[in-house]
Amino acid sequence: MEETYLLNVEGVRKKILHGGQGELPKLQDGSKITFHFQTLKDDFERTVIDDSREAGIPMEIIVGKMFKLEIWETLLSSMRTGEVAEFWCDAIHTGMYALVSRGMRRIAEGRDPLEGQKHRCGMGNMFDYHSTGYDDLDELQRTPQPLIFIMELFRVEEPSAYKRDTWAMSKEEKLAAVPVLHSEGNRLVLRKEFAQAAAKYQEAVICLRNLQAKEKPWEEGWLKLERLVTPLVLNYCQCQLELGEYYEVLEHTTELLQKHKDNAKAYFKRAKAHAAVWNEREAREDFLRVAHLDPSMAAAVKKELKQLGERMRKKHVEDRKRYQGLFQPPRGP
């Protein structure tokens, strides 16, 4: 089945390769579209540039979330579920494809798609960075040209029909999600499901960090969000202590203390992590800071220091025995 259509968009032609089912989907802001795509050059060989099937994972975009290649929303809105179609798009619609492809390739490689980018629009980054890191994309960037997109539409989900990823949420949705995630994390802690609780706290922190990125550091809006972040990070660290992820705790508490030098709870959790990995001096220093900053925690600090001393004495005895065994001459037959 091959029928050619002219969409009501300048510089776009559509050819249906396999018919779909049902009505055309009604897209709205927040709808999630799942599809496979193949990008080809408009040359004699129809050179393949990208193919989502090679990665084995379909592409997903959220309508209205400023996907850099706006024409894709238009193309997909003309398709029915299960349809396979080929679109020829003039260069006026494909100028940003090199940057879009660069991000998708980096994600497929397990890298940060924004690695090395400045906080600017995509076009600004194109002029700042003269290479995408991929020779074929550099060619497209230097010489925008018509491209062919072959797409297979799998499904369109309404915003209420799927769990929204953090990046796809609006500011209001992120702020509303944080207390819910915090509460879910607390409930999981009571059930001693620490890994699942840590994931809830982490998701809430990501929501807030995304919002903070749009605020000026240390101004009121940024500080208001930071006050919400701090207890979530501490709860996350407590879960990691329970899970034995001590170096994870050291990393996050140290980062927190660089901003909040008087946070006794952060020192306390870092001290416990230091003690767990046998950093005796650092653990004692942090425990003593806790007692100085918050006298109400003095009893807990005293108990922890006593346990630390006992553990270190036991370790020293075991070490001596181990080393003595290394240097004793072997017994005769």
Q: Is residue 333 part of a domain?
A: no
Q: Which amino acid is at 209?
A: R
Q: Which pLDDT does position 2 carry in this prediction?
A: 55
Q: What is the CATH number of the domain that holds 190?
A: 1.25.40.10
**Do residues 228 and 89 both lie within one domain?**
no
The whole-angstrom separation of Cα 155 and Cα 158 is 10
- Residue 214 CB coordination number (10 Å): 11
Q: Is residue 61 part of a domain?
A: yes
User: Contact, 194 vs 229, CB < 8 A?
Assistant: no
User: Contact, 147 vs 50, CB < 8 A?
Assistant: no
Of residues 104 and 79, more confidently modeled: 79
Q: Which domain holds residue 51?
A: 4-157
Q: How many CA atoms lie within 13 A of 52 on its CB side?
A: 17
**Do residues 148 and 207 both lie within one domain?**
no
Q: Which pLDDT does position 283 carry in this prediction?
A: 94
The whole-angstrom separation of Cα 166 and Cα 252 is 21
Q: Is residue 144 part of a domain?
A: yes
**Do residues 227 and 286 both lie within one domain?**
yes
Q: Which pLDDT does position 126 carry in this prediction?
A: 40
Q: 167: which residues sit within 8 A by CB, 6+ positions away?
A: 65, 210
The pLDDT-based confidence of 165 (bands split at 50, 70, 90) is low
Q: What is the pLDDT of residues 273-289, one digit of tens each?
A: 999 998 999 999 999 99
Q: What is the pLDDT of residues 213-271, one digit of tens each?
A: 889 988 999 999 999 999 999 999 999 999 999 999 999 999 999 999 999 999 999 99
Q: What is the pLDDT of residues 30-42, one digit of tens each?
A: 788 999 999 999 9
Q: Which pLDDT does position 122 carry in this prediction?
A: 42
Q: What is the pLDDT of residues 42-98, one digit of tens each?
A: 999 999 999 999 877 888 888 876 566 889 988 999 999 999 999 999 999 998 899
Q: Is the pLDDT of residue 119 over 60?
A: no
Q: Is the pLDDT of residue 163 over 60?
A: no
Q: What is the pLDDT of residues 297-324, one digit of tens each?
A: 999 999 999 999 998 888 878 777 777 6
Q: Is the pLDDT of residue 182 over 60?
A: yes
Q: Is residue 37 part of a domain?
A: yes
Domains held by the chain: number: 2
Which of 43, 313, 246, 137 lies closest to 238, judged by CA? 246
The whole-angstrom separation of Cα 62 and Cα 159 is 9
**Do residues 176 and 320 both lie within one domain?**
yes
Q: Which pLDDT does position 229 carry in this prediction?
A: 95
Q: Summarize the confidence of residues 184-204 as an average pLDDT.
A: 93
